[in-house]
A and B are shown apart, each in its own frame.
Chain A
């Protein structure tokens, strides 16, 4: 477990103790502690800001009602983070049901130039034909287009930085399966990105390949 994870775990313990002792008094802390992470997660799942905000709000509201129903002992023993991720994930699955999937690949502008897109240094990428912002948008769209089986664990592991063990508990899958799906998802992304780069830079105007990216 990394240092950051350990810190979060310690914070979660005190948060869980607070929720057990005084739910109404501690719930604000929970929202403030997790709103960025849950929103970031929901944004990658839903692919657009409006749905991401709805999912995040609904997740907290549902979490509160669930906590109200739990006895204090259960609240104290709660692993807050995976529990919250599970709630957000279920909400996003329910929303998708009956909706045409995935909005993400069609709406890379879910990214936009808003405050949730800090200009981070993604490394040495001096390519004028494929600059950082473009790359980011392309990658966000590709992540959104991955099949859920790969998309969700890739987001949890690599976008959210969560350890495999915790992802396994969020998804209710064996850790080996999670690792396999993450690796497979990463490979698909890497292939898609390389292919898209080649298309963008006009190496091979391979329409069939581009089509594969969108329809897989």
Chain B
């Protein structure tokens, strides 16, 4: 039997061999239990609770940054599983939502008062964050097309990516991705199915039937022949136009051709 090479004759060489072997003792991988346990002990982990809202029970997860996830319906177990899959973080059930948070969430879901909920959007990309922030600016009771968001965030060609980003919205309902509709005006798909989207929109005061009827007729915008301004049909300014003075347009070009200028509130000008 020969001595392994690292146990060579020369002491210096042997020490080099031992040093090399020692390096291999350093590739320890921390067990997966450490990260969640530390966050848990420091109170930095996510907790969740159930909240009754006008559109039914909703699970809401939150942490030191704000609300981190929302999911309507389903069981607590399903919510926990979905959360872990999406974020890779542990989550624990809170005895009840903290009173202040519950109050703010209640107002946010009912659409009363100024929204004052903080969101934890660390898990989404910068582009996705821009899309979600823009969606957040769509008032309750109104809708905007994907192309509008794409243009507003300075990525006019990215309407499809906008749709993908909205589909990944970790905080649906509170960040109202349901208020974004297809460019042709139809309601379109949703994380929890198109029917749920209609229900939520209707609950917020959107006339979903009228929305679909306009899409069918090809009406994209309403103008007022008194102000010579054109709007998205659900814009609060458009809703104030009396039927006698309301003009329908199939495109922005048509409206501009007729001498109308875009509304400064809903900014329909460049939306395709």
Contacts and interface: CB of A to CB of B under 8 A. Distances in A.
A144 to B, nearest CB: 10
A87 interface: no
Contacts of A154: 22
B114 interface: no
A40 B22 contact: no
B15 A24 contact: no
B35 A39 contact: no
Interface stretch (A1-9, A156-164, A173-181): A156-164
B31 A53 contact: yes
A127 B1 contact: yes
Contacts of B2: 127
Interface in A126-156: 126-127, 129-130, 135-136, 139-140, 143, 154
B7 to A, nearest CB: 5
Given A115-B29, A189-B18, A193-B18, A24 B4 contact: no
Nearest to A186: B15
Interface stretch (B39-47, B143-151, B183-191, B206-214): B39-47
Instruction: Indicate the size class of the contact surface on chain B.
Output: 35 or more
B38 interface: yes
Contact of A56 (B3, B21, B34): B34
Given A127-B2, A197-B7, A57 B38 contact: yes
A127 B28 contact: no
B92 interface: no
A38 interface: yes
Contacts of B18: 139, 186, 189-190, 193
B69 to A, nearest CB: 16
A127 B15 contact: no
A64 B17 CA distance: 39
Contacts, number: 129
A61 B22 contact: no
A64 B27 CA distance: 25
B35 A35 contact: yes
A143 B64 contact: no
A136 B1 contact: no
B25 A36 contact: no
A120 B26 CA distance: 11
Given A31-B35, A136-B25, A186-B19, A38 B42 contact: no
Interface string A40-75: 100110000100110011001100100000000000
B98 to A, nearest CB: 16
B20 A25 contact: no
B126 interface: no
A32 interface: yes
B137 interface: no
Given A186-B18, A189-B18, A122 B31 contact: no
Contacts of A43: 28
B65 A143 contact: no
Given A127-B1, A201-B1, A194 B14 contact: yes
A49 B7 contact: no
Contacts of A38: 30
Contact of B6 (A39, A52, A125, A158): A125
A38 to B, nearest CB: 7
- A-B pairs, top 6 by smallest CB distance, nearest first, are A40-B28, A39-B30, A35-B30, A158-B22, A159-B26, A24-B64
15 contacts: A35-B34, A36-B30, A39-B30, A40-B25, A115-B29, A115-B31, A120-B24, A122-B24, A135-B4, A158-B19, A159-B22, A159-B23, A160-B26, A161-B23, A190-B14
Interface of A: 24-25, 27-28, 31-32, 35-36, 38-40, 43-44, 49, 52-53, 56-57, 60-61, 64, 115-116, 118, 120, 122-127, 129-130, 135-136, 139-140, 143, 154, 158-161, 183, 186-187, 189-190, 193-194, 197, 201
Given A116-B27, A136-B24, A154-B22, 6 more contacts: A27-B44, A31-B34, A40-B25, A116-B28, A125-B5, A139-B18
